[in-house]
C-alpha cells in the first residue's frame, strides 16, 4: 500500500505542469510564487463533495476535470489568467485506480490552461475535493459583479440548459442504454469549457460578469443585487441547443425553464454597454465562441429576485417559480 508521500509524488509531482513563476512548488511547507508588477492575484476555492456534486461511483476522469473546470470558470468570470492551483483531497482509501483517472482529468485540463499544481493536502475520510486556483489580472481590471449599469446588454456565452438535462439523464437509474443524444448531454454536464481566454479578451469591454454555477436566474440575481439594478430578460433569446430541444421533444417552455435554472453550466453571464456590441461580437467570433444578448439592465433597486427579473414572453412564463440551486434551501 502506498504512503501519503508516495502517492503525492507519483500522482501529483510527476504529472505536473511547470511554470517559471513558481519559485518553490510541492514538497515544502508552502509554495512560493512570483507575481509580476502591475498585476493582482485572483483567488477562488470550490469544493466537490461525493454525493452532492458527483455520484460516489462517477468516473474519476470526469470528476478530476470538473473539479478544476468549475474553479477555472470562476477565474474566467473575473477576467483573470489562471496560473497556480492547490488541491485538498480527502479519500476513503488510497485507491490508485481512482487517482489515476482523477489525475488524467485534472492534469489534462491544467495543461490546456498552463496551470501548475503548487501544493495541497491529502487526508483520509469521505471523498471530497477542494481546489483553490489562482490567476493574474492587471491591477484594477478584474471583472466584478457590481459594475452593471442601466442600459447594459446582458449576455450569456454558449448554450444553457444542457448541464441540467445531462444530470437528469445520469440520475435516471432506469436508463440502462443511452442514446447518442443522451450521451452527448451527459458529456456536456461533466465537460464544460471554462471561458478563460474569451473573458480576458473582452474584459475591458464589460461592466460586470460572473459564471453560471447555480442557474442563470440565481446568478444574475447576484449582479443585480450588487449593482443595485434590475433586469429585463428576453426569454426567447436564451441560447438553447438543438440537443436540448430534441431531448425535451421541442417543448420550448420546458427548454427555456431549464435554461433559466440549470446550474453547473460554467458559461459566463456578463453585462456591457451597447456601444461595445460590435467589438464583443468580433472577438467572440474570432475565438469561436457563441455569445447571445438575452436582455437589458434596467433601473430600480433590487428587492427580490422574482419581482425584478421580469420575464417578458408571456403569462405562462411569469407564473413559473424560478429558483437556482441553493444548497441550504429546503
Ligand atoms: P504539511 O504537513 O506541511 O501540511 P503535507 O505532508 O501535508 O505537508 O504535504 C507535503 C507536501 O505535499 C506539501 O508541499 C503539500 O503542499 C503537498 N501536497 C500534499 N497533498 C497534496 C495534493 N493532494 N496535491 C498537491 N500537493 C499536495
Ligand atoms: Mg498537510
Q: Which ligand is nearest to the CA of 94?
A: 1
**How confident is residue 245, by pLDDT bands cut at 50, 70 and 90?**
very high
In whole angstroms, what is the distance from residue 203 CA to residue 266 CA?
Answer: 17
Distance 210 CA to ligand 2 centre (A): 32
Question: From the CB of 120, is ligand 1 less than 6 Å away?
Answer: yes
Nearest to 320 by CA among 262, 260, 269, 264: 260
| Domain 153-317 top-level CATH class | alpha beta
Q: Fold match between 4-138 and 153-317?
A: no
The answer to whether residue 313 scores a pLDDT higher than 50 is: no
Question: From the CB of 28, is ligand 1 less than 6 Å away?
Answer: yes
Provide mean pLDDT across the span 268-289: 98
**How confident is residue 288, by pLDDT bands cut at 50, 70 and 90?**
very high
pLDDT for the residue numbered 73: 97
264 is in an annotated binding site: yes
State the fold for domain 4-138.
60s Ribosomal Protein L30; Chain: A; (3.30.1330)
In whole angstroms, what is the distance from residue 147 CA to residue 210 CA?
Answer: 11
Q: Where are the domains of the chain?
A: 4-138, 153-317
**How confident is residue 176, by pLDDT bands cut at 50, 70 and 90?**
confident
Q: What is the pLDDT of residues 187-204, one digit of tens each?
A: 999 999 999 999 999 999
Question: From the CB of 89, is ligand 1 less than 6 Å away?
Answer: yes
Provide mean pLDDT across the span 1-18: 81
Given ligand 1 and candidates 87, 119, 128, 134, which is best to mutate, with the most ligand atoms within 8 Å of its CB? Answer: 119
Amino acid at each position: 500500500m502506498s504512503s501519503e508521500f508516495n502517492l503525492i509524488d507519483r500522482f501529483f509531482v510527476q504529472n505536473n505542469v511547470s511554470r517559471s513563476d513558481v519559485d518553490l512548488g510541492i514538497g515544502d511547507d508552502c509554495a512560493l510564487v512570483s507575481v509580476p508588477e502591475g498585476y493582482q492575484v485572483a483567488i477562488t476555492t470550490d469544493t466537490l463533495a461525493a454525493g452532492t456534486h458527483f455520484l460516489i461511483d462517477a468516473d474519476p476522469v470526469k470528476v478530476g476535470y470538473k473539479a478544476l473546470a468549475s474553479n477555472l470558470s470562476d477565474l474566467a468570470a473575473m477576467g483573470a489568467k489562471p496560473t497556480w492551483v492547490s488541491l485538498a483531497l480527502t479519500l476513503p482509501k488510497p485507491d490508485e485506480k481512482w487517482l489515476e483517472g482523477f489525475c488524467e482529468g485534472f492534469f489534462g485540463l491544467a495543461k490546456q490552461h498552463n496551470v501548475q499544481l503548487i501544493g495541497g493536502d491529502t487526508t483520509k475520510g469521505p471523498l471530497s475535493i477542494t481546489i483553490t486556483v489562482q490567476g493574474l489580472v492587471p491591477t484594477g481590471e478584474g471583472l466584478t459583479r457590481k459594475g452593471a449599469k442601466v442600459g447594459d446588454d446582458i449576455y450569456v456565452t454558449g448554450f444553457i440548459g444542457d448541464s441540467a438535462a445531462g444530470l437528469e439523464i445520469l440520475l435516471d437509474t432506469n436508463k440502462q442504454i443511452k442514446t447518442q443524444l443522451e450521451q452527448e448531454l451527459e458529456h456536456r454536464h461533466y465537460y464544460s469549457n471554462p471561458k478563460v481566454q474569451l473573458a480576458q479578451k473582452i474584459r475591458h469591454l464589460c461592466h460586470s460578469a460572473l459564471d453560471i454555477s447555480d442557474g442563470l436566474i440565481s446568478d444574475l440575481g447576484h449582479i443585480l443585487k450588487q449593482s443595485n439594478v434590475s433586469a429585463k430578460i428576453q426569454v426567447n433569446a436564451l441560447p438553447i441547443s438543438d440537443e436540448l430541444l430534441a431531448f425535451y421533444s421541442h417543448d420550448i417552455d420546458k427548454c427555456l425553464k431549464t435554461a433559466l435554472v440549470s446550474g453547473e453550466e460554467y458559461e459566463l453571464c456578463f453585462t456591457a454597454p451597447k456601444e461595445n456590441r460590435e467589438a464583443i461580437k468580433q472577438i467572440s467570433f474570432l475565438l469561436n465562441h457563441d455569445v447571445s444578448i438575452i436582455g437589458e439592465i434596467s433601473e430600480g433597486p433590487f428587492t427580490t429576485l422574482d419581482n425584478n427579473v421580469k420575464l417578458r414572453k408571456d403569462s405562462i412564463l411569469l407564473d413559473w417559480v424560478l429558483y437556482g440551486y441553493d444548497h441550504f434551501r429546503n
